[in-house]
Amino acid sequence: MKRTGIKPTRELIIVMALLASVVLAIKFIFGANQQADTLVSVFVIGLLCLVGFDARSAVRPPKISAERVLPNVFSFNHWHQVELVFINQGRDKLQFQIGECLPNEFDAQGLNQQFTIDSKQQLKINYKLKAQKRGAYQVYGTELAVVSTWLCWQVYWRLDNPSDIKVYPSFNRLAKGDSLKGTSNLAINGLKLLKKRGEGIEFHQLREFRQGDSIRQIDWQATSKRQKLISKEYQEEQNQHVIVMLDAGQRMKIDTSVGSHFDAALSALLMLSHTVLKQGDWFSVQSFNQTERWLPAVKGAQNVSQIMNHFYDLYPDESATDYSKAVNLLLKKRSKRALVLLVTTLSDYDIEELLPALKRLQQNHLVALVNIEHQGLADAIDQPINNLASAQQYVGSVELKNHFQKNLKRIAKQGVLTIDCKPEQLLPYLINTYLNVKHSGML
């Protein structure tokens, strides 16, 4: 425990001000009166002795400890409850205010209160904490402003009780179910749903015939042995591979109501990984541009935390997007066929570089291009037209939007699955693409 400061309390300042007023009043009323001067001097000396004695006892470190209890998962831009547990091991009752040594990226609520804890007692204090950014942080300690016994001084102490905090992307929208509404009926350009005909599926078990089973499912040999209809039950093919190529360039820094394009993409791909791993498939992620990270194949729903811990503190940089370099890097790492989801925000001049890169990727993989619609373009189209300038802006924005759509159709004609969506729609589109590809047997 370290003392960081000391200052007079409000009560002491008021007493001193009143004392000064009384002394001046006595001087004014009695003038040069020795008896009055002696009385005032005795009173002042006594008060100063009390203040000094109180200061001497106040600077002795209080025998108090504090333990911080944090939630298991900390999501950025959401309030989380934190608990501080204080134990007063001393003989005196303590009156104090608390503060936390927080990073600049954190906001706190509920700390500006006065608390009291008796000797040999425990006190639990709850407050709320919100992180404005993802990443790894540390709460350095707890600050106490302890009021002295005679209420003359407020002494500041810092308790050395650091806590490490990992702030992850937010998954609250998924928990509420909002993000997956309509997942089964989203249209994906270039994707056709096919009925299973026994290919690309794995035999699971034999069971009794149920209404709705097709004749093709009946196992006639087992039926003749058991003297009742027996069906073959199949399950989705497992051990397939999904790779997400995540653009970590300058364009992904565009801000929206749900965070930046990159924040939306990171949250969506982490939730997609949970779905993929639950289906028994493999999942990999490659971020590209100046900030490059590669997570090799992960399998098993219990390993979703491995993906979170690998990318939770990743932020886009200022570099321009280089699709050709990103594709070359991926092909060196993974040549066996997989579903590759390239998540980016396109520019109007990307097509000439992007199309050859996608064709090279298609030689080994099934490719889906996921374009996060530029928020500025969407806002410009939604703006009301009030004058000539706003009309010109609207026309220009619509022309640019049409240019994007034309480029996406050109890409789709090459056999690339194309998705164009807003940041808040990204999660259902990603999951829908994966599930439709899996059900259609395209891998």
DSSP 55-90: HHHHTSPP-EEEEEE--SSEETTSEEEEEEEEEE-S
Name the pTM for this structure: 0.75
Q: How far apart are alpha carbons 346 and 406 in whole angstroms?
A: 12
Helix, coil or strand: residue 366: strand
Q: 299-321, pLDDT tens digit by residue? A: 998 898 899 999 999 999 999 99
Q: How far apart are alpha carbons 155 and 149 in whole angstroms?
A: 11
Q: 337-373, pLDDT tens digit by residue? A: 999 999 999 987 788 899 999 999 999 999 999 999 9
pLDDT for residue 71? 93
User: Which residues neighbour 439 within 8 Å (Cβ) at sequence distance 6 or greater?
Assistant: 193, 194, 196, 236
Domains of the chain: 1-168 (2.60.40.10), 172-193+238-440 (3.40.50.410), 201-236 (no CATH)
pLDDT at 240 exceeding the cut of 50: yes
Burial class, 250, CB count within 10 angstroms (exposed 0-12 / middle 13-18 / buried 19+): middle
pLDDT at 13 exceeding the cut of 70: yes
